[in-house]
Amino acid sequence: MENDTLIVRVQETVAEALQVPIRQVAPNLAFGGIKEWDSMGHMGVMMLLEERFGISIDAEIIAALTSVPAICEYIQKTRKD
* Whether the Cβ atoms of residue 37 and residue 45 lie closer than 8 Å to each other: yes
Q: Which residues pair with 30 in a beta bridge?
A: 67
Over the stretch 58-76, which tens digit does the pLDDT of each residue have? 999 999 999 999 999 999 9
Instruction: Write down the domain spans for the chain.
Output: 3-80
pLDDT tens sequence across 2-28: 778 999 999 999 999 999 999 999 999
Residues 45 and 14 sit within 8 Å (Cβ to Cβ): yes
Q: Could you tell me the pTM of the whole model?
A: 0.92
11 within 8 A of 27, measured Cβ to Cβ: yes
CATH architecture of 3-80: Orthogonal Bundle (1.10)
CB-CB contact of 36 with 18 (8 Å)? yes
